[in-house]
Structure 1
C-alpha cells in the first residue's frame, strides 16, 4: 500500500501553552499521521529501475542497465578500455553519467548504484549506495557543489533539459555554436548601398515640394541630418554604447563565481543528445550567502559569450474578421500615395527614386521600442541559491544608444 499524505485543515488559532486537551489531541494526531507517512517504505516498479556503477577515479557512473525515459536527455557515450575473457583490453563505448545526473536518478529512486570498490568484493548482492552516500561521494567532483546540484534538480523536475556549458572532457557532446555570421550581400544590394543614398539626397535637394521648416535642404548633404535619430547623434559629444571599452581592473587571483555553468533547453525544444542545439538559456549558479553582487566587468564578460537576441515580434491587434453578409462588399485596401509602378530592377537598385504601390495592410508592423528595450540585446540568467531556496534573476544588456529615439 502506497503512503498517502494526510489531509490537514487550516488552523483557526495559534496553539498556546496550557491550551485545551482537545486542541493538544488534534495536534498530536496530525503530527503522528505525518510521521507515519514519512516512515513508510518507498516502493517503485522493478521494470523502470536502472543499474549503475560509480567509479571515483573517473568521477563517472557507468550505466549497465538503462531503463526509462530519463536517458533520452541524460548521459553521454564515452569510449573506455575494458578487459575481455582472455585478459586483452579493447576499446568499447559505454553510457556514462555525470555526478549530478547520477544523484538525481538515485534520489528519484530510478537507479540503483554501487560503488566500484564495494562491487569487486561483494558483487551485485551487496547493498547499493544510499542517497546520503551518493551525496557524500559525488558532491565536490567535476566542479559540482551542492548549489549547482540543487539548481539542476529543480530545473529537471520542471521538465527542462539541462547540460553542461563547458564539456568536462572531449567525449561530452558540446552544444552547437550560436549563429553569428551575417548573410552576404548580393551585387544589387552593394550597388544600392554605394549609390542609393547619394541619388536620394540629390533628389530631395532639388525636389519641387516646399517645406518652410527646411527651405534650403542642404543639411542632409553636408551634415547627414535626415531625421531625429541623426540629429540627436550629431549632438552627442560623449561616447556611449557597449562598444566603449571599460576601465580594466587588475585581475584577481581568485576566479570569479559568475561563470556560465549550465545550458538550459525548454521542454518544447527538439533536443538530440549526441548533437545538442544552441541552448535557449545559459545560466550561472552562485551561493547567495558567500557571493556578492556582480560587478560591471563580470556582467560584461558574461554578455560577451552570448549572441544578440532577436527583436520581440509585435503583437497582432485587431478584431477577427467576420463573415460578410450577403449584399455587402468589403472596402478595398487603401494604397499609399506613391509614384507609378516602375521596372523591378530600378526599384531594387534605387528604391527611394522608384517607389511602388504597397497595400497598407501588407506593411510589416513596427517593433515596439519599449518592448525591445525591456527585453534587451543580450540576456543571461543567474541562479541564486540561498540555503536551499532557488531563485532566478535575468540580466539584460540594454541598447538605448542604437535606437532612433536615442
Structure 2
C-alpha cells in the first residue's frame, strides 16, 4: 500500500497552498494595534483572531511608510508597558515558605500515616513551598492540597499548599500573587485559639476570615514574575524547586486542559516473586518446548485447508507475551523515569485527594542532555508502570491497531528542546495475541461461497448446455 507521499494520483495543490500560507503567516510581524484595541476594550476585536501585520521588505521613502512604522513603535511600547493586575474577586495571595515542611515535618503533623492517601512520598510535602491564604476560583479543584492530619491549633490549618510548578503556573496566569513574608507563618496564619477551639468543639472547619488587603505591605513584599522564576526554578532534584524542562511540560499540559500531578509509586495487584536458586536450577532441566526442532522443511508437502495450519508450522521463535507482574525493579534508570501523571478533563468525576488511575504517564527528558533510550532503559521504564491491558470493548479486527498502540504498558516521553516539546509514545505491545490466521481463513471461505465454491457450484460446460446439432427430419 502506498503512502500519501508515494501515491501517484494525490492532488497536492490545496495542501501545498495551505503550507505556503502557514509559512507566510509565520514570517509576518505581529500587528500590535490589535493588541492595543483589545486592551482598550474596543468592540469588534476578538482575542482568538489576532492576525499578523503586513511586512515591508524595503524602504520606499514615502511619508506614509514612516508614519506607519512610527505608529507601530508607539503601540508596541504601550503594549509592553501594560500593567498586569488582579481582580479583587478572584485575587489569591500565596506566601513563600520554602523550608516550612522540610524543617518541621514531624512537629506539625498529627498522623503522618495519612500522608500516604495521595502518594508514597508523603504528599510531596518537602516540595510544597507556597501556602495560599484564601484559594478562590475553579483551579483549586485540580491544584494544591490541604494537608490531612494537621491539627487546628497549628498554623495554616486548612490552607492549600502548592508545589513549585503549580505556584509558578498560577503566577503566570495571573491567578496568584506571590509574596515573600516578613515574619514566620505563625504571624500570618495562626492556628485556632484554645478558647475558641473549645467553644466550637469538633468543628474542624477553619474560622471564617475576611478577604486579605492587597495594599497592606506590612506583612510582606509582592514578588515579580522574574523573582518567582528565580525562586521556584532550579536544577533537577533540588528540594522545593522544579527544573525548567519539567515546568515547561507541566504548563503545556495544564494549558491544554489536563489534570497533572507529580508521579508517585503505584501499587500493583500482583508483584513478581524473585526466583530461588532451586527454581532457577530446575528451570534449566526443563527441555520441553512447543517449538521442537525437526529435520526437513518447516512445512511438509501436503494439502492444507487453512492458513493456521501453515503458519503454526512456521512459528519457531517464541514471541513476547506481556505479563501482569513486572519482571524487574520499579526503580527506573535516570534520566528515564516517570515524572507526571496526567488525566483527561473529559467530564468524568475527578478528585485530587483520591484520583482514579491516570490516563497518561509522562517522562520528561532534555534533548541536549539525553540520547536515544536503549532497549534496557525503555524496558525498565515500562515495567515501572502498572499492568494496563487494552480496554475490553476494543474487540474485533477494526480495533487491532488501537489495541497494539495502547499495549499492556505504555508511557509518554516528553522531549524538551529549548522550550519546544515533542511527545513520543512507547508501549509494550503484544503481536502474539493478535492472531491473524482466523481472519485469513474467514475471508477465504467467504470468497469461496461468493464464487460458487464446492462441487457443482460452478457453471460447467457439461452435456445439455451446448448448442445442439440435431438431425433434420
Match of 1:186 in 2: none
- Check 1:401–1:45 CA distance in 2 against 1; reply closer, same or farther (3 A cut): same
- Check 1:154–1:261 CA distance in 2 against 1; reply closer, same or farther (3 A cut): same
What displacement does 1:92 show? 4.7
Alignment match of 1:403 (pick from 434, 443, 448): 434
Conserved? CA contact 1:309–1:379, under 8 Å: no
Alignment match of 2:264 (pick from 125, 141, 166): 166
1:33-74 CA-partner distances (Å, limit 9, x unpaired): 133122112233111111221111144212221111111111
Residue 64 of structure 1 pairs with residue 133 of structure 2: yes
Alignment match of 2:378 (pick from 290, 299, 323): 299
Match of 1:47 in 2: 89
What displacement does 1:241 show? 1.7
Residue 31 of structure 1 pairs with residue 73 of structure 2: yes
**Equivalent-residue separation in structure 1 for 2:54 and 2:160 (angstroms):** 55
Structure with greater proportional strand content:
1
Residue 132 of structure 1 pairs with residue 226 of structure 2: yes
Match of 1:380 in 2: 411
Conserved? CA contact 1:257–1:291, under 8 Å: yes
1:141-187 CA-partner distances (Å, limit 9, x unpaired): 446201111111111112111011127xxxxxxx7x56779xxxxxx
TM-score (norm 2): 0.54
**Equivalent-residue separation in structure 2 for 1:278 and 1:106 (angstroms):** 29
Match of 1:144 in 2: 242
What displacement does 1:103 show? 1.0
1:361-388 CA-partner distances (Å, limit 9, x unpaired): xxx8555434433444432111122212
What displacement does 1:10 show? 5.4
Alignment match of 1:282 (pick from 355, 361, 369): 361
Conserved? CA contact 1:312–1:372, under 8 Å: no
Match of 1:260 in 2: 338
- Kindly report which structure 2 residues correspond to 1:78-97, keeping only aligned pairs within 5 A, or say none: 78=147, 92-97=157-162
Conserved? CA contact 1:82–1:91, under 8 Å: no
Q: Structure 2, unaligned stretches of length 5 or more?
A: 1-36, 102-126, 188-215, 272-301, 324-331, 438-473
Q: Structure 1, unaligned stretches of length 5 or more?
A: 168-174, 182-211, 216-226, 245-253, 315-363
Match of 1:321 in 2: none
Conserved? CA contact 2:93–2:133, under 8 Å: yes
TM-score (norm 1): 0.62
What displacement does 1:307 show? 2.3
- Check 1:213–1:309 CA distance in 2 against 1; reply closer, same or farther (3 A cut): same
SS of alignment partner, residue 65 of structure 1: coil
Conserved? CA contact 2:181–2:219, under 8 Å: no
Number of positions where the alignment pairs a residue of Structure 1 with one of Structure 2: 297
Alignment match of 2:390 (pick from 310, 319, 343): 310
Match of 1:3 in 2: 39
**Equivalent-residue separation in structure 1 for 2:61 and 2:270 (angstroms):** 70
**Equivalent-residue separation in structure 1 for 2:382 and 2:244 (angstroms):** 26
Conserved? CA contact 2:134–2:159, under 8 Å: no
Conserved? CA contact 2:165–2:242, under 8 Å: yes
Conserved? CA contact 2:362–2:413, under 8 Å: yes
- Kindly report which structure 2 residues correspond to 1:208-247, keeping only aligned pairs within 5 A, or say none: 213=303, 228-229=307-308, 231-241=310-320
What displacement does 1:26 show? 2.0
What displacement does 1:79 show? 5.4
Conserved? CA contact 1:80–1:94, under 8 Å: no
What displacement does 1:139 show? 1.4
Higher RCO (CA 8 Å, separation ≥ 6 residues) = 1
Residue 115 of structure 1 pairs with residue 180 of structure 2: yes
What displacement does 1:401 show? 2.5
